[in-house]
Structures are given as structure tokens and as C-alpha cells.
Chains A and B, each alone.
Chain A
Amino acid sequence: MRFSALNKRSEIFLCAFRAVIYLGNADLDRIGSMEPSVCPNHTVIRQ
């Protein structure tokens, strides 16, 4: 079955989220201020 392209976009967020966890910072309020993070599938996010 086909899915919408949105799924790829939300996946990128998920990778960023996992990166935050990986970096040991699970404070969600700070996600918006995180520096660029890297995960196996996506290079993320803010410059």
C-alpha cells in the first residue's frame, strides 16, 4: 500500500528526536534550540 510523502518528513523529525535522546538530552523543550544532529538516514536539521 502507498503512503503519503508526509511520512518521510515526519521520519526526519523522528531521526532528530532520536539524535536528541542519543546525545543524552531528552528535554523536549530544547529540541528547537538543538544544533545540527546526524542520524544514519538523514542529516538533520538546523544550520
Chain B
Amino acid sequence: MRFSGLTSRIAGKSADSWETHYEALARSQAGEDIIMLSVGQESDQLTDDRIVEEAVQSLRSGRHHYTPVQGELALRKAIAARHSELTGQYANEDQCSVFSGAQNALFAVSQCVLEHGDEVILVEPYYSTYPATFSCSGATLVSVRPSSNMQINPEDVTGAITDKTRAIVVNSPNNPVGSVYTREQYEPIVRACSDRKIWLISDEVYLEMLAPEDRVSPAGLPGADEICVTVSSLSKSHRMTGWRVGWAVGPRELMQHLYNLTLCMIYGLPPFIMDAATFALQMDSNIADIVRESMDRRRKIVAGLLSGLPNVRILPASGGMFAVLDVRNLGTGSMEFTRRLLDQYRVSLLPCDGFGDSGEGLVRISLAVEDGLFEEACQRIRAFVLGLSAIRTTNQDG
């Protein structure tokens, strides 16, 4: 049978980069001693009991019918309040749409603002689902490489704008490299988007995990109201990955289009999930602070154990849930590195080949397992790298 052209746009390197992860997951579930560092999820941590209880009570009270397609009013109000607090941009509930996770929100926004003939600018390295998410619309991807320290260079971004550019996508703190963008970096981009009526799509799922003084969102800058779409979720900040609650905040006209799309796509989220999400946003909590402290601690562990090794380099990072190891000088591609690491040392990492050309030769290390296990994983990676380096040296000498 024939399939649509969309199927080729959603396949490729980005999808391939997850192969090792899924194999590791299957082997782990079959009982093998594998440390999973290939996904950004604190598998050893549970969602706060109070949030779980709210969902249970909601379900028991009969909250299991159809819901407003754009999201329950109470949840949209809570999202608007949280968005205003985090970004500095005032928003109300009419500017918020609820989705089944930030990934779903990005996909929906992409569908509503992009189409064949358009160009969308992505800053590398970008999250591995972005190529499929944004090219699915038919738009052409335009990649902008980062600076040598994996930072965004605003002149490179604005320099990539053409008459066909319809959207620019930014992600800070960045997945995978953890770079955090500043107001000075965002300002020229917001200004260019505002002047040329280009959408600025900002993926901010890791923003709340930064210290308040470090949080910068383009949505809060002058000129952003008309052009900026902010996408976020509860997955990382509230340890709620499996609940699949995310949102988009943007101009009201966009929300109307997102409503129409949601109506024919997911038709709203389960009410008990939305009740729990509302509770999570309104409860007195420091979960995001705890997550940030855990990630910062493990960033130090990985730097301590893997810095100074021959032929590899840990990239500097300020936020997010990952460390990135540059293995280009080892002579193995990142796919082969992760494959052999899994087979020989039973640690699962994610190759960054699917994160754009500048991700080739990089591997992503999740910081989301408890300290003892994380340190053990770093020791295994260290032994693997030392072994590979020794072989490489022997071969060069020979």
C-alpha cells in the first residue's frame, strides 16, 4: 500500500537516533543490568502524592467525560498565571491552549503557522523531534549552527531570514546542550521577527528549573506579544512526564486556529488529568528547585569523572537535564559510540546525530537518575572511553 509523503518527513536520522535507547529499554525490562541515561526522565522519582491524590479524587468524583477542547478554564487560568510569572509577559486564559504534552503543542503550532513553501529556522543542536515536528507541515528546515561554545549567535539567526521565513524556533535551556540564552541574545531576534512578521516559537520546558534570576523568555521582551508562541509543560518541572500535559501561550487568533485543530486531533484532555495539572500549578511547591539542584549536582559529578579524559570533552552547560560529551576525536561516530557502550558497559546514552549536523559526534547523557547510579554510569563511561583511547593510541603508533 502507498503512504503519504508525510511518512518520509517524519522518518530519518531523528527517528534512528532512538534505536539504541529502545533496544536498551527492552533489554533492561528483560532484566539486564543497564543504566538508562538516554531519556530525560527521573524514573526513580514519583509525581508528588498530592497531585496524584487530586487526580484520583477527580476520577472518583465522576470527572471522566468530554472536556472543553482548548482545556478546562481553571487550568488555562493557572497556566496564564504561571506563564506571566515565568516570562514577564501578561497573558490571560484566552491566550492559552492545553495539549497532550509540549511535543503535541509544538506539532499543533507548527501545523497552524507553517506550510509548503515556507522556511522555518532551527538553531542547532535542536531536540531530535524538531525536524519531523516542523517539516511535517511541508515547510523547509533552515539550520543555523551554534557558536563554538554551543551558544546562539543572534546575527547568524537573523542573517538566515529570507522572504520565505515564516517561523524561528528557539529552545532555552537547550536540549541537548543545556545552553541558556540571555536577554541580549533574544532582543535582536524578537526585533527581527516583529519587524518582518515572523513567528517566534519558544520551547521553554526547562525554563522553570532555572533559578528565578536566570530565567529569560523572549515572550517578555518588547514587540513579542504579536509574534511569540511559548510552549511549555509540567513534565520536567513537576516530574509529570507520563501525565502528558503541555500548553501553548500566544496571540488569541492563533488560539482559535489551535482550537479548530485540537477539535479534529485529540478533542481535549481527560478531565481528571487537567484537575491534577491545575492543582500542580497552584500548589505550594518547590519541586522545580529540587529538580534543578539534583541536575546541578550531577553536572558536577559528570564533569568530575569525565573531564580530562583523552579524546573527549564535556561541553559546558547551564541548565536542562543533560550533559553532552564530545566524542569526535575518538574516531567513532556517536551512533557507534552509544552502540558499543551499551554492549560492553551496559549504559544507554543518546547519540546526537538526530539533533542537527552540529550534533554529529556528540552524545547526550541524561542527568535524571539518582546520584549513586549516575556516578556508577559515569565510571563505566570513563572506563569505556579510556579503553577506546588506548586502542586508538595503539593503532596510531602502529
A46 in the interface, Cβ–Cβ < 8 Å? no
CB < 8 Å: which of A1, A3, A14 contacts B263?
A14
On whether A1 and B199 interact (CB within 8 A), knowing A6-B115, A7-B112, A28-B267, the answer reads yes
Q: Does A10 contact B (CB under 8 A)?
A: yes
Instruction: Please tell me if B166 contacts chain A, counting CB pairs below 8 Å.
Output: yes
By a CB distance below 8 angstroms, the chain A residues around B197 are 1-2
Look across to chain B and name the residue whose beta carbon is closest to the beta carbon of A14: B260
- Given that A2-B197, A3-B113 are contacting pairs, would A13 and B260 also be in contact in the complex, using a CB cutoff of 8 Å? yes
With A6-B111, A28-B267 known to touch, is A1 a contact of B260 (CB < 8 Å)?
no
Q: Please report the total number of A residues contacting B with Cβ < 8 Å.
A: 13
Inter-subunit contact B260/A5 (CB<8 Å)? no
Residues of A within 8 A of B114 (CB): 4
Query: Which residues of the partner chain A approach B260 to less than 8 Å between Cβ atoms?
Result: 7, 10-11, 13-14
Are A17 and B263 in touch, CB under 8 angstroms?
yes
Residue of B nearest to A5 (CB): B115
Contacts of B267 in A (CB 8 A): 28
Interface residues on chain B, number (Cβ under 8 Å): 21
Using known A-B contacts A1-B197, A3-B254, A4-B115, determine if residue A10 contacts B137 with beta carbons closer than 8 Å.
Answer: no
Chain A positions 6 through 47: 1 when the CB is less than 8 Å from some CB of chain B, otherwise 0: 110011011001000000000010000000000000000000
Tell me whether A1 and B261 are in contact in the complex, defined as CB-CB below 8 angstroms, given that A6-B115, A7-B112 are known contacts.
no
> Which A residues touch B264, using CB under 8 A?
10, 13-14
Distance from A47 Cβ to chain B, minimum over Cβ atoms (Å)? 20
Bound together, the chains give a CA A6 to CA B107 distance in angstroms of 13
B276, chain A: closest CB distance, angstroms = 25
B137:A4 contact, CB within 8 angstroms: yes
- B166, B257, B267, most chain A CB atoms within 10 A: B257
Contact call A4/B112, Cβ cutoff below 8 A: yes
Contact of B257 among A3, A13, A17, A28 (CB under 8 A): A3
> What A residues does B336 contact at CB under 8 A?
none
Nearest chain A CB to B260 CB, angstrom units: 4
Smallest CB separation, B198 vs chain A (Å): 9
Query: Are the CB atoms of B257 and A10 closer together than 8 Å?
Result: yes
Contacts of A28 in B (CB 8 A): 267
**Which residue from chain B places its CB closest to the CB of A17 in the assembled complex?**
B263
Contacts of B115 in A (CB 8 A): 4-6
How far is A3 from B227 in the complex, measured between Cα atoms in Å? Answer: 12
Indicate if B226 sits at the interface (CB-CB under 8 A): yes
Residue B343 interfacial (CB < 8 Å): no
A–B pairs, 9, beta carbons within 8 Å: A1-B197, A1-B199, A4-B114, A4-B137, A6-B112, A10-B260, A10-B263, A10-B264, A13-B263
Known pairs A3-B257, A6-B137, A10-B263 / 14 extra A-B pairs, C-beta < 8 Å: A1-B226, A1-B227, A1-B251, A3-B254, A4-B111, A4-B112, A4-B113, A4-B114, A6-B111, A6-B261, A7-B257, A7-B260, A10-B261, A28-B267
